[in-house]
Amino acid sequence: MIIIITIYGAMLIISFFQIRKIYQLDQIEPYQEFLQSNFTKPISILVPAYNESIGICASVRSLLSIEYPEFEVIVINDGSTDDTLQKLDEVFKLKKTNMVVRRQLETKEIKAMYTSTIYPNLIIADKDNGGKADALNAGINLSKYPYFCSLDGDSIIERNAFLKVLKPIIESDDEVIASGGTVRIANGCVIQNGDLTEIGLSKNPLVTMQIIEYLRAFLTGRVGLSKNNLLLIVSGAFGVFSKKWVIDAGGYAHTVGEDMELVVRLHRLIKEKKANKKIVYVPDPVCWTEAPESMKYLRRQRKRWHKGLFDSLWRHRKLMFNPKYGTIGMVSMPYFFFIEFLGPVIEMFGYLFFIFSLFTGSIYFEYAILFFLVSMVYGSFYSMAAVLLEEWSMERYTKVSHFVTLFLVSLTETFWYRPLTVFWRIEGIVEMIFRKKGGWGEMVRKGVSNE
Protein backbone atom coordinates (compact mmCIF):
# COMPACT_ATOMS: atom_id res chain seq x y z
CA MET A 1 0.00 0.00 0.00
CA ILE A 2 2.89 2.35 0.82
CA ILE A 3 4.48 1.61 -2.56
CA ILE A 4 1.21 2.24 -4.43
CA ILE A 5 0.50 5.48 -2.51
CA THR A 6 4.03 6.71 -3.31
CA ILE A 7 3.81 5.87 -7.02
CA TYR A 8 0.30 7.22 -7.53
CA GLY A 9 1.08 10.30 -5.45
CA ALA A 10 4.15 11.05 -7.57
CA MET A 11 2.14 10.65 -10.79
CA LEU A 12 -0.55 12.97 -9.41
CA ILE A 13 2.01 15.69 -8.65
CA ILE A 14 3.61 15.32 -12.09
CA SER A 15 0.17 15.47 -13.73
CA PHE A 16 -0.74 18.58 -11.76
CA PHE A 17 2.22 20.58 -13.08
CA GLN A 18 2.13 19.09 -16.59
CA ILE A 19 -1.58 19.73 -17.17
CA ARG A 20 -1.25 23.26 -15.84
CA LYS A 21 1.68 23.88 -18.18
CA ILE A 22 -0.30 22.57 -21.16
CA TYR A 23 -3.35 24.60 -20.13
CA GLN A 24 -1.34 27.84 -19.96
CA LEU A 25 0.32 27.20 -23.33
CA ASP A 26 -3.05 26.58 -24.92
CA GLN A 27 -4.15 30.06 -23.93
CA ILE A 28 -1.10 31.56 -25.64
CA GLU A 29 -1.12 29.39 -28.79
CA PRO A 30 -4.71 28.82 -30.02
CA TYR A 31 -5.18 25.56 -31.90
CA GLN A 32 -7.08 27.31 -34.67
CA GLU A 33 -3.74 28.57 -36.04
CA PHE A 34 -3.06 25.01 -37.19
CA LEU A 35 -6.02 25.20 -39.56
CA GLN A 36 -4.02 27.53 -41.82
CA SER A 37 -0.62 25.97 -41.10
CA ASN A 38 1.37 24.49 -43.98
CA PHE A 39 2.88 21.99 -41.55
CA THR A 40 -0.42 20.33 -40.59
CA LYS A 41 -0.25 16.68 -41.60
CA PRO A 42 -3.18 15.03 -43.42
CA ILE A 43 -4.68 12.10 -41.54
CA SER A 44 -6.64 8.93 -42.25
CA ILE A 45 -9.31 8.15 -39.64
CA LEU A 46 -9.96 4.42 -39.30
CA VAL A 47 -13.24 3.22 -37.80
CA PRO A 48 -13.42 -0.57 -37.35
CA ALA A 49 -17.06 -1.59 -36.98
CA TYR A 50 -18.62 -4.86 -35.94
CA ASN A 51 -22.38 -4.76 -35.28
CA GLU A 52 -22.32 -1.01 -34.60
CA SER A 53 -25.65 -0.29 -36.28
CA ILE A 54 -27.01 1.85 -33.44
CA GLY A 55 -24.19 4.37 -33.16
CA ILE A 56 -22.13 4.18 -36.35
CA CYS A 57 -23.89 6.91 -38.33
CA ALA A 58 -23.67 9.45 -35.49
CA SER A 59 -19.97 8.64 -35.07
CA VAL A 60 -19.25 9.10 -38.78
CA ARG A 61 -21.19 12.38 -38.83
CA SER A 62 -19.11 13.55 -35.89
CA LEU A 63 -15.90 12.70 -37.75
CA LEU A 64 -16.96 14.39 -40.98
CA SER A 65 -17.58 17.64 -39.12
CA ILE A 66 -14.19 17.91 -37.38
CA GLU A 67 -12.04 21.02 -37.72
CA TYR A 68 -9.05 19.79 -39.69
CA PRO A 69 -7.63 20.84 -43.08
CA GLU A 70 -7.25 17.47 -44.83
CA PHE A 71 -8.50 14.04 -43.80
CA GLU A 72 -10.29 10.91 -44.94
CA VAL A 73 -12.65 8.66 -42.98
CA ILE A 74 -12.40 4.91 -43.61
CA VAL A 75 -15.07 2.70 -42.03
CA ILE A 76 -14.12 -0.98 -42.03
CA ASN A 77 -17.22 -3.17 -41.71
CA ASP A 78 -15.71 -6.34 -40.28
CA GLY A 79 -18.34 -8.87 -41.35
CA SER A 80 -21.15 -7.38 -39.24
CA THR A 81 -24.21 -9.59 -38.84
CA ASP A 82 -26.56 -6.64 -38.22
CA ASP A 83 -27.54 -3.80 -40.59
CA THR A 84 -24.42 -1.64 -40.05
CA LEU A 85 -23.66 -1.45 -43.78
CA GLN A 86 -27.30 -0.78 -44.71
CA LYS A 87 -27.49 2.10 -42.20
CA LEU A 88 -24.35 3.65 -43.67
CA ASP A 89 -25.82 3.30 -47.16
CA GLU A 90 -29.10 4.93 -46.15
CA VAL A 91 -27.48 7.94 -44.51
CA PHE A 92 -24.41 8.56 -46.67
CA LYS A 93 -25.65 7.33 -50.08
CA LEU A 94 -22.92 4.87 -50.94
CA LYS A 95 -21.82 3.80 -54.38
CA LYS A 96 -19.66 0.80 -55.19
CA THR A 97 -16.17 1.63 -56.39
CA ASN A 98 -12.91 -0.02 -57.41
CA MET A 99 -9.79 0.87 -55.45
CA VAL A 100 -6.20 -0.26 -55.80
CA VAL A 101 -5.04 -1.46 -52.39
CA ARG A 102 -1.37 -1.74 -51.50
CA ARG A 103 -1.34 -4.86 -49.31
CA GLN A 104 1.38 -3.99 -46.81
CA LEU A 105 -0.26 -5.96 -43.99
CA GLU A 106 -1.98 -9.35 -44.33
CA THR A 107 -5.74 -9.23 -43.72
CA LYS A 108 -8.96 -11.07 -44.49
CA GLU A 109 -10.46 -10.48 -47.93
CA ILE A 110 -12.19 -7.18 -48.68
CA LYS A 111 -15.44 -8.06 -50.43
CA ALA A 112 -16.44 -4.61 -51.65
CA MET A 113 -15.47 -0.94 -51.50
CA TYR A 114 -17.85 2.02 -51.37
CA THR A 115 -17.56 5.80 -51.39
CA SER A 116 -20.16 8.32 -50.32
CA THR A 117 -21.83 10.39 -53.02
CA ILE A 118 -22.32 13.14 -50.41
CA TYR A 119 -18.89 13.14 -48.76
CA PRO A 120 -16.01 12.31 -51.15
CA ASN A 121 -13.60 11.74 -48.24
CA LEU A 122 -15.76 8.94 -46.76
CA ILE A 123 -14.78 5.39 -47.73
CA ILE A 124 -16.48 2.18 -46.61
CA ALA A 125 -14.77 -1.22 -46.78
CA ASP A 126 -16.87 -4.36 -46.42
CA LYS A 127 -14.70 -7.33 -45.48
CA ASP A 128 -14.83 -10.83 -44.05
CA ASN A 129 -14.77 -11.00 -40.27
CA GLY A 130 -11.26 -11.18 -38.89
CA GLY A 131 -11.42 -9.28 -35.61
CA LYS A 132 -10.59 -5.72 -34.65
CA ALA A 133 -6.85 -5.99 -35.34
CA ASP A 134 -7.53 -7.38 -38.81
CA ALA A 135 -10.00 -4.57 -39.52
CA LEU A 136 -7.48 -1.93 -38.47
CA ASN A 137 -4.74 -3.52 -40.60
CA ALA A 138 -7.12 -3.46 -43.57
CA GLY A 139 -7.76 0.23 -42.89
CA ILE A 140 -4.01 0.92 -42.82
CA ASN A 141 -3.65 -0.78 -46.22
CA LEU A 142 -6.46 1.40 -47.60
CA SER A 143 -5.26 4.67 -46.09
CA LYS A 144 -3.38 7.18 -48.25
CA TYR A 145 -2.01 9.58 -45.62
CA PRO A 146 1.18 9.28 -43.47
CA TYR A 147 -0.68 9.35 -40.14
CA PHE A 148 -3.77 7.45 -39.12
CA CYS A 149 -6.14 7.54 -36.19
CA SER A 150 -7.87 4.48 -34.78
CA LEU A 151 -11.31 5.28 -33.44
CA ASP A 152 -14.06 3.05 -32.05
CA GLY A 153 -17.31 2.85 -34.00
CA ASP A 154 -19.41 4.09 -31.06
CA SER A 155 -17.35 7.23 -30.41
CA ILE A 156 -18.13 10.93 -30.74
CA ILE A 157 -15.16 13.21 -31.29
CA GLU A 158 -14.98 16.89 -30.31
CA ARG A 159 -14.57 19.16 -33.33
CA ASN A 160 -11.08 20.46 -32.51
CA ALA A 161 -9.76 17.22 -30.98
CA PHE A 162 -7.56 16.33 -33.96
CA LEU A 163 -5.90 19.75 -33.97
CA LYS A 164 -4.97 19.13 -30.35
CA VAL A 165 -3.88 15.50 -30.53
CA LEU A 166 -1.71 16.16 -33.60
CA LYS A 167 -0.08 19.25 -32.15
CA PRO A 168 2.86 17.38 -30.52
CA ILE A 169 3.43 15.44 -33.76
CA ILE A 170 3.45 18.62 -35.85
CA GLU A 171 5.70 20.54 -33.46
CA SER A 172 8.16 17.68 -32.87
CA ASP A 173 9.18 17.37 -36.54
CA ASP A 174 8.22 13.65 -36.55
CA GLU A 175 9.98 12.90 -33.27
CA VAL A 176 6.58 11.92 -31.82
CA ILE A 177 5.30 8.82 -33.66
CA ALA A 178 2.12 8.24 -31.64
CA SER A 179 -0.20 10.48 -29.68
CA GLY A 180 -3.20 9.50 -27.57
CA GLY A 181 -6.13 11.59 -26.43
CA THR A 182 -8.56 11.43 -23.55
CA VAL A 183 -11.62 9.18 -23.64
CA ARG A 184 -14.71 10.28 -21.71
CA ILE A 185 -18.05 8.60 -21.12
CA ALA A 186 -20.98 9.84 -23.20
CA ASN A 187 -23.80 8.17 -21.23
CA GLY A 188 -25.98 10.98 -19.89
CA CYS A 189 -24.77 13.55 -22.43
CA VAL A 190 -26.93 15.12 -25.14
CA ILE A 191 -25.67 14.42 -28.66
CA GLN A 192 -27.45 15.70 -31.76
CA ASN A 193 -26.45 14.60 -35.27
CA GLY A 194 -23.00 13.50 -34.15
CA ASP A 195 -22.30 16.71 -32.20
CA LEU A 196 -22.00 16.91 -28.40
CA THR A 197 -24.40 19.67 -27.33
CA GLU A 198 -24.59 19.16 -23.56
CA ILE A 199 -22.41 17.32 -21.07
CA GLY A 200 -24.28 15.44 -18.37
CA LEU A 201 -24.02 12.56 -15.93
CA SER A 202 -25.83 9.26 -16.11
CA LYS A 203 -28.16 8.44 -13.21
CA ASN A 204 -26.69 4.94 -13.15
CA PRO A 205 -24.08 4.79 -10.31
CA LEU A 206 -22.18 2.10 -12.24
CA VAL A 207 -21.63 4.57 -15.09
CA THR A 208 -20.78 7.44 -12.72
CA MET A 209 -18.14 5.27 -11.09
CA GLN A 210 -16.63 4.59 -14.51
CA ILE A 211 -16.46 8.35 -15.19
CA ILE A 212 -14.39 8.80 -12.02
CA GLU A 213 -12.24 5.81 -12.99
CA TYR A 214 -11.58 7.24 -16.47
CA LEU A 215 -10.68 10.66 -15.08
CA ARG A 216 -8.24 9.05 -12.67
CA ALA A 217 -6.66 6.82 -15.30
CA PHE A 218 -6.27 9.46 -17.98
CA LEU A 219 -5.61 12.71 -16.11
CA THR A 220 -3.23 11.33 -13.50
CA GLY A 221 -1.89 7.96 -14.66
CA ARG A 222 -1.23 8.61 -18.33
CA VAL A 223 -0.04 12.20 -17.96
CA GLY A 224 2.53 11.08 -15.39
CA LEU A 225 3.79 8.22 -17.55
CA SER A 226 3.81 10.27 -20.76
CA LYS A 227 5.95 12.99 -19.20
CA ASN A 228 8.90 10.56 -19.07
CA ASN A 229 8.11 8.60 -22.28
CA LEU A 230 6.94 5.61 -20.22
CA LEU A 231 3.47 5.30 -21.74
CA LEU A 232 2.57 1.75 -22.79
CA ILE A 233 -1.10 2.40 -23.61
CA VAL A 234 -2.64 4.61 -26.28
CA SER A 235 -6.36 3.97 -26.07
CA GLY A 236 -7.83 2.07 -28.99
CA ALA A 237 -10.78 4.44 -28.77
CA PHE A 238 -8.67 7.47 -29.76
CA GLY A 239 -5.02 7.39 -30.84
CA VAL A 240 -2.93 8.78 -33.72
CA PHE A 241 0.02 6.81 -35.15
CA SER A 242 2.73 7.17 -37.78
CA LYS A 243 1.75 4.71 -40.51
CA LYS A 244 5.37 4.03 -41.47
CA TRP A 245 6.35 3.01 -37.94
CA VAL A 246 3.28 0.86 -37.44
CA ILE A 247 3.89 -1.00 -40.72
CA ASP A 248 7.57 -1.47 -39.78
CA ALA A 249 6.37 -2.94 -36.48
CA GLY A 250 4.09 -5.39 -38.32
CA GLY A 251 0.72 -3.71 -37.77
CA TYR A 252 -1.83 -4.70 -35.17
CA ALA A 253 -1.47 -8.18 -33.67
CA HIS A 254 -4.38 -10.58 -33.27
CA THR A 255 -4.57 -10.37 -29.51
CA VAL A 256 -7.05 -9.35 -26.82
CA GLY A 257 -5.36 -5.99 -26.15
CA GLU A 258 -4.19 -5.01 -29.62
CA ASP A 259 -3.86 -1.31 -28.74
CA MET A 260 -1.44 -1.79 -25.82
CA GLU A 261 0.48 -4.56 -27.59
CA LEU A 262 1.15 -2.26 -30.56
CA VAL A 263 2.46 0.54 -28.31
CA VAL A 264 4.81 -1.85 -26.47
CA ARG A 265 6.04 -3.17 -29.81
CA LEU A 266 6.65 0.39 -31.05
CA HIS A 267 8.68 1.18 -27.93
CA ARG A 268 10.66 -2.00 -28.49
CA LEU A 269 11.32 -1.07 -32.14
CA ILE A 270 12.40 2.45 -31.14
CA LYS A 271 14.96 1.08 -28.69
CA GLU A 272 16.25 -1.59 -31.08
CA LYS A 273 16.69 1.00 -33.85
CA LYS A 274 18.17 3.46 -31.32
CA ALA A 275 15.85 6.12 -32.67
CA ASN A 276 14.97 9.29 -30.82
CA LYS A 277 11.19 8.85 -30.95
CA LYS A 278 8.41 9.41 -28.42
CA ILE A 279 4.89 8.21 -27.69
CA VAL A 280 2.86 10.82 -25.83
CA TYR A 281 -0.52 11.45 -24.24
CA VAL A 282 -2.36 14.76 -24.69
CA PRO A 283 -4.99 15.32 -21.97
CA ASP A 284 -7.24 17.88 -23.66
CA PRO A 285 -8.45 16.28 -26.93
CA VAL A 286 -11.58 14.39 -25.99
CA CYS A 287 -13.39 11.46 -27.52
CA TRP A 288 -16.75 10.49 -26.01
CA THR A 289 -17.74 6.84 -25.97
CA GLU A 290 -20.54 4.68 -24.60
CA ALA A 291 -19.80 2.81 -21.37
CA PRO A 292 -21.40 -0.44 -20.19
CA GLU A 293 -24.50 0.17 -18.08
CA SER A 294 -24.89 -3.34 -16.70
CA MET A 295 -22.70 -5.54 -14.52
CA LYS A 296 -22.71 -8.23 -17.22
CA TYR A 297 -21.01 -6.15 -19.90
CA LEU A 298 -18.74 -4.20 -17.56
CA ARG A 299 -17.49 -7.50 -16.15
CA ARG A 300 -16.83 -8.78 -19.67
CA GLN A 301 -14.95 -5.59 -20.56
CA ARG A 302 -12.71 -5.62 -17.47
CA LYS A 303 -11.83 -9.28 -17.87
CA ARG A 304 -10.85 -8.60 -21.47
CA TRP A 305 -8.73 -5.59 -20.51
CA HIS A 306 -6.82 -7.55 -17.87
CA LYS A 307 -6.18 -10.45 -20.23
CA GLY A 308 -4.96 -7.95 -22.81
CA LEU A 309 -2.61 -6.37 -20.27
CA PHE A 310 -0.97 -9.70 -19.43
CA ASP A 311 -0.83 -10.81 -23.05
CA SER A 312 1.09 -7.65 -24.00
CA LEU A 313 3.48 -8.01 -21.05
CA TRP A 314 4.05 -11.72 -21.77
CA ARG A 315 4.68 -11.23 -25.49
CA HIS A 316 7.34 -8.67 -24.67
CA ARG A 317 8.74 -10.19 -21.47
CA LYS A 318 12.21 -9.80 -22.96
CA LEU A 319 11.97 -6.10 -22.08
CA MET A 320 11.39 -6.69 -18.34
CA PHE A 321 14.35 -5.42 -16.30
CA ASN A 322 16.45 -5.31 -19.48
CA PRO A 323 18.71 -2.20 -19.43
CA LYS A 324 18.97 -2.39 -23.23
CA TYR A 325 15.41 -0.99 -23.36
CA GLY A 326 16.09 1.89 -20.99
CA THR A 327 13.29 3.18 -18.76
CA ILE A 328 10.69 1.11 -20.65
CA GLY A 329 12.38 -2.10 -19.52
CA MET A 330 13.52 -0.92 -16.11
CA VAL A 331 10.51 1.18 -15.00
CA SER A 332 7.44 0.96 -17.23
CA MET A 333 7.23 -2.81 -17.76
CA PRO A 334 7.78 -3.61 -14.04
CA TYR A 335 5.19 -0.96 -13.08
CA PHE A 336 2.51 -2.46 -15.33
CA PHE A 337 3.32 -6.00 -14.19
CA PHE A 338 3.66 -5.56 -10.42
CA ILE A 339 1.23 -2.68 -9.85
CA GLU A 340 -1.39 -2.96 -12.59
CA PHE A 341 -1.43 -6.71 -13.25
CA LEU A 342 -0.53 -8.25 -9.88
CA GLY A 343 -2.25 -5.52 -7.84
CA PRO A 344 -5.70 -7.22 -7.94
CA VAL A 345 -4.14 -10.56 -6.93
CA ILE A 346 -2.53 -9.03 -3.84
CA GLU A 347 -5.72 -7.15 -3.02
CA MET A 348 -7.82 -10.31 -3.33
CA PHE A 349 -5.49 -12.12 -0.91
CA GLY A 350 -6.02 -9.20 1.46
CA TYR A 351 -9.81 -9.63 1.33
CA LEU A 352 -9.53 -13.40 1.83
CA PHE A 353 -7.05 -13.03 4.70
CA PHE A 354 -9.37 -10.52 6.41
CA ILE A 355 -12.37 -12.90 6.15
CA PHE A 356 -10.26 -15.81 7.39
CA SER A 357 -9.00 -13.75 10.32
CA LEU A 358 -12.56 -12.91 11.36
CA PHE A 359 -13.27 -16.61 11.89
CA THR A 360 -9.97 -17.43 13.58
CA GLY A 361 -10.01 -14.37 15.83
CA SER A 362 -6.45 -13.46 14.82
CA ILE A 363 -7.22 -9.93 13.69
CA TYR A 364 -6.29 -6.69 15.43
CA PHE A 365 -9.58 -4.85 14.87
CA GLU A 366 -8.39 -1.35 15.82
CA TYR A 367 -5.52 -1.55 13.35
CA ALA A 368 -7.69 -3.17 10.66
CA ILE A 369 -10.31 -0.42 10.94
CA LEU A 370 -7.63 2.28 10.85
CA PHE A 371 -5.99 0.68 7.81
CA PHE A 372 -9.36 0.42 6.06
CA LEU A 373 -10.17 4.08 6.76
CA VAL A 374 -6.77 5.19 5.46
CA SER A 375 -7.32 3.13 2.31
CA MET A 376 -10.80 4.58 1.81
CA VAL A 377 -9.72 8.17 2.42
CA TYR A 378 -6.70 7.84 0.11
CA GLY A 379 -8.73 6.22 -2.66
CA SER A 380 -11.41 8.89 -2.42
CA PHE A 381 -8.78 11.65 -2.29
CA TYR A 382 -7.05 10.31 -5.39
CA SER A 383 -10.36 10.07 -7.28
CA MET A 384 -11.46 13.55 -6.27
CA ALA A 385 -8.04 14.97 -7.12
CA ALA A 386 -8.63 13.73 -10.68
CA VAL A 387 -12.08 15.37 -10.73
CA LEU A 388 -10.65 18.65 -9.39
CA LEU A 389 -7.82 18.48 -11.93
CA GLU A 390 -10.37 18.13 -14.72
CA GLU A 391 -12.46 21.02 -13.42
CA TRP A 392 -9.40 23.23 -12.92
CA SER A 393 -7.96 22.66 -16.39
CA MET A 394 -10.54 21.49 -18.95
CA GLU A 395 -13.85 22.31 -17.24
CA ARG A 396 -15.99 19.70 -19.04
CA TYR A 397 -18.24 19.09 -16.03
CA THR A 398 -19.31 22.63 -15.17
CA LYS A 399 -22.40 22.18 -13.00
CA VAL A 400 -22.06 22.12 -9.22
CA SER A 401 -24.44 19.14 -9.13
CA HIS A 402 -22.00 17.18 -11.32
CA PHE A 403 -19.15 17.87 -8.92
CA VAL A 404 -21.20 16.94 -5.85
CA THR A 405 -22.42 13.70 -7.48
CA LEU A 406 -18.91 12.65 -8.52
CA PHE A 407 -17.61 13.41 -5.03
CA LEU A 408 -20.33 11.45 -3.20
CA VAL A 409 -20.12 8.45 -5.52
CA SER A 410 -16.32 8.34 -5.22
CA LEU A 411 -16.68 7.92 -1.44
CA THR A 412 -18.52 4.64 -2.00
CA GLU A 413 -15.92 3.07 -4.30
CA THR A 414 -14.14 1.08 -1.58
CA PHE A 415 -17.38 -0.58 -0.44
CA TRP A 416 -18.64 -2.06 -3.71
CA TYR A 417 -16.97 -1.00 -6.98
CA ARG A 418 -13.35 -1.69 -6.11
CA PRO A 419 -13.96 -5.28 -4.86
CA LEU A 420 -16.05 -5.99 -7.97
CA THR A 421 -13.35 -4.86 -10.39
CA VAL A 422 -10.73 -6.80 -8.42
CA PHE A 423 -12.84 -9.96 -8.68
CA TRP A 424 -13.46 -9.46 -12.42
CA ARG A 425 -9.77 -8.95 -13.12
CA ILE A 426 -8.96 -12.12 -11.16
CA GLU A 427 -11.56 -13.88 -13.34
CA GLY A 428 -9.67 -12.61 -16.37
CA ILE A 429 -6.45 -14.14 -15.04
CA VAL A 430 -8.19 -17.49 -14.44
CA GLU A 431 -9.70 -17.49 -17.96
CA MET A 432 -6.30 -16.62 -19.37
CA ILE A 433 -4.69 -19.55 -17.54
CA PHE A 434 -7.29 -21.91 -19.03
CA ARG A 435 -6.85 -20.18 -22.41
CA LYS A 436 -10.45 -19.11 -22.81
CA LYS A 437 -10.45 -16.85 -25.84
CA GLY A 438 -12.52 -13.75 -26.56
CA GLY A 439 -13.49 -11.98 -29.76
CA TRP A 440 -14.39 -8.36 -30.37
CA GLY A 441 -15.81 -8.18 -26.83
CA GLU A 442 -19.08 -6.84 -28.17
CA MET A 443 -21.47 -4.97 -25.95
CA VAL A 444 -25.21 -4.39 -26.34
CA ARG A 445 -25.41 -0.67 -27.10
CA LYS A 446 -28.23 1.74 -26.48
CA GLY A 447 -26.61 4.40 -28.64
CA VAL A 448 -25.16 7.69 -27.41
CA SER A 449 -26.76 9.90 -30.03
CA ASN A 450 -30.13 11.56 -29.52
CA GLU A 451 -31.02 11.86 -33.19
**Mean pLDDT in each 10-residue stretch from start to end of the chain (451 residues)?**
81 78 56 64 93 88 89 95 94 92 91 95 96 95 94 82 87 90 89 81 92 84 84 87 96 90 96 94 83 93 93 95 95 94 90 83 79 76 77 72 84 86 94 69 53 48
Total-model pTM = 0.88
Q: Do the beta carbons of residue 136 and residue 49 sit within 8 Å? A: no
Instruction: Give the CATH fold of the 2-293 domain.
Output: Spore Coat Polysaccharide Biosynthesis Protein SpsA; Chain A (3.90.550)
pLDDT at 28: 43
Distance CA 447, CA 250 (A): 34
Distance CA 236, CA 240 (A): 10
Task: Give residue limits of the domains in the chain.
Answer: 2-293
Residue 317: DSSP 8-state: G
Listing DSSP states for 12-39 in one string gives HHHHHHHHHHHHHHHHHS-GGGGGG-TT
Residue 279 phi/psi, 5-degree rounding, is -125, 120
Give how far Cα 73 sits from Cα of 18, 115, 118, 394, Å.
32, 10, 13, 27
Burial grade of 66 (CB within 10 A; 0-12, 13-18, 19 or more):
middle
pLDDT at 224: 79
pLDDT at 87: 95
**Contacts (Cβ under 8 Å, ≥6 apart) of 164:** 31, 181, 282, 284, 285
Give the residue from 201, 233, 238, 200 showing the smallest Cα distance to 217.
Answer: 233
Residue 49 phi/psi, 5-degree rounding, is -135, 125
